[in-house]
Structure formats: C-alpha cells, structure tokens
Amino acid sequence: MMGVPQAAPARRIGRFRAEIDAALDRVVGGDRYILGPAVEAFEAEFAAYLGVAHCIGVGTGTDAVTLALRALEVGPGDEVITVSLTAAGTAQAILLCGAELRFVDVDRITRCMDPNAVEAAITPRTAAIVPVHLFGQPADILRLVSIADRHGLAVVEDCAQAHGAVIGARKVGSFGHAGAFSFYPTKNLGGIGDGGAVVCRDAATAARVRSLRCYGWDDETRISRRLAGNSRLDEVQAAILSALLVHLDEGNDERRALAAEYRRRLHGLGLGMPPDGPGSVYHQFAVACDSREALRRNLWDHAGIGTAVHYFPALHRQPAFHVAGVSRLPNTEALAESLLSLPIQPEVAGPNLARIAEAVRTEVGRCKRS
C-alpha cells in the first residue's frame, strides 16, 4: 500500500502544470529575469486580491517580516511583541531588524496571539506587534489593532500560513500597517522555491520596502540611500504564483470541506480540534493529542499516514531566542507538546481522507489501550 505524505507540493504543481508551463514559457522567452513584468503583474494581482494598495515581492517570508518592520522604523532599542508558537522565521525576522523579542502566550482555543497577554506585555519600549495567523486561522486582529492604536504601536501581520483567510469581508494582511506573506512550496499559495511579499496600504511604507529589498535604491540612478540587502522575488516564482493565484479560493474551499469532513469522522475521539472559524483556510489541520508521539509513529508504521509536528519545541525554548527572557507560556507549551498536523492539502487528503480518518480512529484507540 502506498503511503500518504503529510504534504506534497509537487502534486499541486502537477495539477496546474499546463498553466504553469505557459507562464514559465513567457518568462524564458522574455528579456527580463529580475524585477520584470511577471513580478509587476503578480504584485498588482495579489494586491487586488487582498484589497490593499501595494504589494512588494521579496525573497522569503522571513524577509517580508524583517523589511516590513524596518520600513515602519522598528529597530535597535525597540521591543516587538509576538508569539512563540510559530515558525522560527517570525522571531528571527524581529531579531534581524535589530529589535528585541517579547513573547506572549496564545489563546488556547484559537492558538493565536492572546490580546489580553499583549495588553499586559506592553512597555515604554514596545514599538510593534507581530500577530501570527497560525495554521490559516485568523488571529483576533481587530482587537489587536485596537490595542496597538491606543498605544501608538505598529502592527505587522504574519500571514505566511493564511493566504486568503478572512475576517468578515476583509482578507488578513489588510488590517495592520503591513502584512507579510511566504510563498514557500507547502503554503496554500506556494511556488517551487522561496518567495515572499509585503503588502500595505501606505505608499511611503511601500516605497521604503521597495528600497530595502534592493540595495537601498530609490530610483534608476542606483544610488544606495540606506543600508539594505538584496531580497527580490524572481520572475520564475512570480509567474508560477500568478498562475496559481486564480485557483487559491478554490483550493481554500477544498481545504474547508476537508476540515469539515475530518471533524465529522473524528468526532468523539477526544482529540482537540482546530478552531472552527468560517474565515480559516486550514493551512494545517492540527489536532491535539496527549499521546502525540505514539499516535504519529503508529499512523506511519501501521497505516503509512504521514503527519507533521508544528512547532516543537516552542521558540522560547530554543537557544536562539533565550534573549527574550520568558520562563513559561502555559498555553503555548501545552499546544506545542500535543499538536499533530494531519494531511490537509487537497491533492493529498482529498482522495485519502476516509483512509486517514479511519487510521486515526484505530490508532487513537490503540494508544488509549496501551
């Protein structure tokens, strides 16, 4: 019996291969391979999709957070509040712009930043908040923006896992001063390499990000006016992303349907389910299980079902982030120690969901008996 991977980006690329090949042909047949027409087109398309004025393609999602913070003049001497239940790139980006980390706990239900914890963590040195829309579930961004406004803080939404997620009629990334996206291959909108984008409403912020992504240049004179690096979304990735963007909502709808089917089939097992929010796009379908390691091992050994652990240990337990000085985050730690991500990518889970769910039911029972 063939195994079921936790994710398989190549299957999505294969599903839309004809459109992708046509887009790549246009790039190869053109005469600009860096910051050319494919990047310009994708930036315009993605900005329109999100309902924001500006999109700036950059090299990675980590760069997107770093450059957004720098463009908002966050740097040395500042503190930035974020969560520890996230990918390392979120925290690395804050440190890379010269600021200090201040971790706060997450809400146990949403698994996203707890606004009450943010209120308690603000100090005179706090300059920004970086909430993470974890696993495609929108954070309580309306309340977080309200808190930030009262204290004069910048808000950079980490949307790396939430392409197309909505709150009401608005997509995440459009609420804060800037939004940061990753286009890593496993994302709901992913390329065949690294890529990212900063989105924002303010023209001056957008101009600073464009300068920071390319040596501090502001115009065609190529004069470096500020210290900056090189973080540019390339034409190949942009062309692929444009080809896939038109299918993003369809894919998100498929993920919602798969999540609903998981809930139906796994009901009554005692697993902690993801929040059932209408705006979620289910980048991951992470269930909480006290015997996670046994369940993960048994699913693979007995049924060939691949799973993944996101994110353990939590960042405040990792050496690079000990500078944050946080001793304990109870909800974060409990979730980091129990969450297990089942397959949710439509091309993987779609034809295999019944098999996956039955295996989970069997192995949860086995774990309870052992």
Give the integer Cα–Cα distance in Å for 210 and 207: 5
- What pLDDT, in 10s, does the model give residues 108-158? 999 999 999 999 999 999 999 999 999 999 999 999 999 999 999 999 999
- What pLDDT, in 10s, does the model give residues 82-95? 999 999 999 999 99
The pLDDT-based confidence of 1 (bands split at 50, 70, 90) is low
What is the residue-wise DSSP string for 145-200? HHHHHHHT-EEEEE-TT-TT-EETTEETTSSSSEEEEE--TTSSS--SS--EEEEE
Domain count, the chain: 2
Task: Give SS3 for 34.
Answer: strand
Give the integer Cα–Cα distance in Å for 127 and 43: 28
Mean pLDDT of the residues in the chain: 96
* Residues 240 and 253 both lie in one domain: no
Give the integer Cα–Cα distance in Å for 228 and 215: 5
The contacts of residue 318 (CB under 8 Å, 6+ apart) are 88
Point out the domain boundary residue: 245, 271, 302: 245
* Residues 192 and 97 both lie in one domain: yes
Q: How far is CA 166 from CA 48, 51, 187, 222, in A?
A: 15, 11, 16, 39
* Residues 19 and 56 both lie in one domain: yes
pLDDT at 365: 78
In a domain, 2, yes or no: no
In a domain, 1, yes or no: no
Distance of CA 162 to the CA centre of its chain: 5
- What pLDDT, in 10s, does the model give residues 246-255? 999 999 999 9
- What pLDDT, in 10s, does the model give residues 261-272? 999 999 999 999
* Residues 119 and 168 both lie in one domain: yes
| In the predicted structure, residue 210 carries a pLDDT above the cut 90 | yes
pLDDT at 359: 96
pTM of this prediction? 0.96
In a domain, 133, yes or no: yes
* Residues 240 and 252 both lie in one domain: no
Which has the minimum average pLDDT: 48-52, 320-324, 336-340?
320-324
Range of the domain at 26: 9-245
* Residues 27 and 120 both lie in one domain: yes
Give the integer Cα–Cα distance in Å for 128 and 211: 21
* Residues 219 and 262 both lie in one domain: no
Point out the domain boundary residue: 188, 222, 245: 245
Greatest CA separation found in the chain?
Answer: 71
Give the integer Cα–Cα distance in Å for 85 and 295: 21
CATH number of the domain encompassing residue 148: 3.40.640.10
The pLDDT-based confidence of 104 (bands split at 50, 70, 90) is very high
Task: Give SS3 for 56.
Answer: strand
Point out the domain boundary residue: 226, 245, 264: 245
Torsion angle, CA of 232/237/243/246, rounded to 10 degrees?
A: -50
Q: What is the 3-state secondary structure (H, E, C) of 192-223?
A: CCCCEEEEECCHHHHHHHHHHCECCECCCCCC
| In the predicted structure, residue 10 carries a pLDDT above the cut 80 | yes
In a domain, 20, yes or no: yes
Burial (CB count within 10 angstroms: exposed 0-12, middle 13-18, buried 19+), residue 279:
buried
- What pLDDT, in 10s, does the model give residues 61-83? 999 999 999 999 999 999 999 99
Strands 100-104, 126-130: pairing kind: unpaired
- What pLDDT, in 10s, does the model give residues 282-298? 999 999 999 999 999 99
Helix axes 61-71, 203-212, angle to 10 degrees: 120
Tell which residue, 151, 221, 222, 232, has the closest CA to residue 197: 232
* Residues 219 and 361 both lie in one domain: no
pLDDT at 348: 98
